[in-house]
Structure 1
Amino acid sequence: MNFRKSIFLTIFVALGLSFLVSSCETDVDLIAPYKSTPVIIGILDYTADSQFVRINRTFLGEGDANIYAGIRDSVEYNAAEVEVWLYKRRNGNLQDSIQLQYIVKPSRDPGVFYNQNVGFYYTSQDLFTADEIADIRNASFGNNPVLMTYELKVIARGEIYTAETDFPDISSSTISTPLPANPPSKLELYRQSFNQYAQVTFAYKLKSKTARNLGVYRLNYDYVTADGTTVTNQYIDYKLGATDNSEGANNQNAYFTFNAQSWYEFIGPKIKAIPNVTKIRIHNTEFRLTGANGILNTYYKVANPVSEFTPVLNTFTNLDNGAIGIFGARSTVVREAYILDPGIEIMNMGEFTSAPGLSYCVVNWASSLYVCNP
């Protein structure tokens, strides 16, 4: 299956209020002139299909601020006021430039900043060629490694704000286990002879230009509802944790380990919450390793975001001209895996994932007893 990936390069431009207080009065004029202070959050990912940029401003007006937060015109700049560019450099020399285009996409979940459709600046252009990606991934080797970077340039109401980022050097060979195989290796999640869930270990190598590693175990599936409708390209991500490599260790072994029971406990409620679901058609599972570069890792430490790769506003910055925020990079590599039959059987019969009228099967897995009917 083709599970589309995308990463949002998010830019929030916040305007700070200036309070006008006279020497003889205590009244504060909240609708007075104010100074613009951009807050720019950007993460590039060359393994994603598209890069998105969002540019916002704080709302300003009389009345309930929550009402303004729900009105798109109160928080977005006019697209004519903003330009966003990406500049590719090889060892400091300019190679290419990309101007991001404006697009309106459906709104996020209700209650998140505002509830109308959202304006973005985006590009679907590849950030690097295959040879340039190889240069990035070989940055830990040789005496003269190539340095590939991108510069972000934001022009907002005539003011220019820039930052630069390099890229983490993880590759598919960074993952040690599961081993690469065709068809994919099958993981032991349940030990039927011992009537117990198994310990699962994913192994990988630390890379010197990858300062932070985030592990995820993903289940890719379709589901069928009671009326026969099939909903495709679904997934559930189970986070395995994050490791810090700010010291730049290279080719040292590292591991994510978990008990499979916790995974079944995690996915079960999510699957059973699907309205009228009758069948889960499992395509595969994936060990997904996402690496962050040094500046992004520093940001995570300082800002302490609520999730590993979701940035939050903070006074830490690598932007110039008075802007605050972060412009960094990450990339993701994936190793596909199947599940041994006892692990599928426990899905159908176990306390965490089973439910009346619900069954689990696998799509085109060789020698499995649980292959889905066409």
Structure 2
Amino acid sequence: MKKIAIFLLLISAFFMACETDFEVNASWKEVTVVYGLLDQSQPQQYIKINKAYLGEGDALQMASVADSVNYNPEDLEVKIFKVKDGAFGSIDTLGFVTLYDTILEKDTGLFSTDENIIYTTPSNFFLTNNADEKDYILSIYNKKTKRIVSAKSNLIHELNLDIPPSKPMGFYGIIPNPVVLPLDKSQTTVNWYHAKNGKIYQIIARIYYKDYFYNDTILNYIDWTVHPDPYDGSSEMHYTFEGDVFVNTLATKITNTDITLIARRLSHVELFFTVGSEDLHTYMAVNEPFEGIVQERPVFTNINNGIGLFSCRYNKSHSMSFPSSTREGLAIDLGSLHFIYP
């Protein structure tokens, strides 16, 4: 980890002959900020490249100006090289791809949304010749300043799930007749195998439900996000979804604000698995909120001649159905939210 600290140098005056005026904003220095996560499960790769800024005036106002945070794309040459270790410590280049600038929509906030410039690969060049066994070097060459910013990352190998295709996501047993409250809840466990180079795992369970109106039916969803789980060294991994948490999550995240709603039914769930690298895990850990009097935190970067993060992740999804007992049980427990069965 590279720790970057900014120190204010306090210069004392000797005797009475001293110069008390000084420039708060020192002479301009180029600082490149880079963020990118390689993911061979996706058709394209995206790299965000910005510049740090320092100037006279309101910093928040400068952040809202595109020229303050963006490079002119014509000034940058952005490439990703596929490499492998050669003889005597050398690096053999197996190929490269040039990234081109594009503009993606960005949520409003402090920073400029006029030109959210992203650099992207024209296609996924990772899916050939054992790509996940290679390393990848990001090179950013500024044609104006002749400055090179670089970083290196490997790839996370494919994530293999161990979930039978017909396995449902169930949280209730057989509903008794007559109904006896509270209903007993059950759990569902999903399994997968460790992906090489993966250091942290996260699952988002996207729960879909249908809202019925007089003239329309809308498929909505809420996300049940599982806290990231560091790799524990096991080759076989699992996570257990609890029935009580399932019901409480739906009760908390779904509201009845539309008076025209007639009823809603549980539909299905899609699990989104994300595996992150060791550098990504470190970056997330460093930037987690923490309590205490001292709020200063170390800064993590793996960018040479710049700051930021260039690393890797892997995404995979899996759909599961809900059994009839879970649909019926939810209609009983959350009837106040207009869930019905069948």
Does TM, scored on the shorter chain, surpass 0.5?
yes
| Structure number with bigger Rg | 2
Equivalent in the alignment of 1:197: 185
Equivalent in the alignment of 1:33: 27
Question: CA 1:167–1:83 in structure 2 vs 1: closer, same or farther (change >3 Å)?
Answer: same
1:260 equivalent to 2:243? Answer yes
Instruction: Identify which of 322, 326, 341 aligns with 1:339.
Output: 322
TM-score (norm 1): 0.69
User: After the TM superposition, which of the residue ranges 277-286 and 208-217 deviates more from structure 2?
Assistant: 277-286
For 1:195 and 1:107, the matched residues in 2 are separated by 44
For 2:172 and 2:115, the matched residues in 1 are separated by 45
Equivalent in the alignment of 2:294: none
The runs of 5 or more residues in structure 1 that have no matched partner are: 1-15, 137-146, 307-312, 361-368
Equivalent residue runs for 1:237-256 within 5 Å: 237-245=223-231, 249=233, 251=235, 253-256=236-239
1:296 equivalent to 2:284? Answer no
Q: Is the 8 A contact 1:17 1:30 kept in 2?
A: no
1:67 CA drift (Å) = 2.0
Sequence identity percentage: 22
Q: Is the 8 A contact 1:19 1:32 kept in 2?
A: no
Question: CA 1:70–1:187 in structure 2 vs 1: closer, same or farther (change >3 Å)?
Answer: same
Question: CA 1:198–1:31 in structure 2 vs 1: closer, same or farther (change >3 Å)?
Answer: same
Equivalent residue runs for 1:316-331 within 5 Å: 316-320=300-304, 322-331=305-314
Amino acid at match of 1:125: S
For 1:18 and 1:225, the matched residues in 2 are separated by 62
Equivalent in the alignment of 1:143: none
Local SS of the residue matching 2:49: coil
The runs of 5 or more residues in structure 2 that have no matched partner are: 1-5, 86-90, 177-181, 290-296
Local SS of the residue matching 2:283: helix
Equivalent in the alignment of 1:187: 169
Q: Deviations over 1:23-68 (max 9, x none)?
A: 7344443454222233333211111233222222234443322222
Equivalent in the alignment of 1:96: 95
Amino acid at match of 1:284: H
User: After the TM superposition, which of the residue ranges 210-219 and 85-94 deviates more from structure 2?
Assistant: 85-94
Equivalent in the alignment of 1:363: none
1:117 CA drift (Å) = 4.4
- Which has the larger strand fraction? 1
For 1:335 and 1:263, the matched residues in 2 are separated by 18
* Aligned residues between the structures: 312
Local SS of the residue matching 1:68: helix
Equivalent in the alignment of 2:179: none
Q: Deviations over 1:301-333 (max 9, x none)?
A: 4x2446xxxxxx96333322x323322111023
Question: CA 1:46–1:58 in structure 2 vs 1: closer, same or farther (change >3 Å)?
Answer: same
1:339 CA drift (Å) = 0.8
TM-score (norm 2): 0.75
1:209 CA drift (Å) = 2.9
Local SS of the residue matching 1:153: strand
Equivalent in the alignment of 1:80: 74
Question: CA 1:37–1:75 in structure 2 vs 1: closer, same or farther (change >3 Å)?
Answer: closer
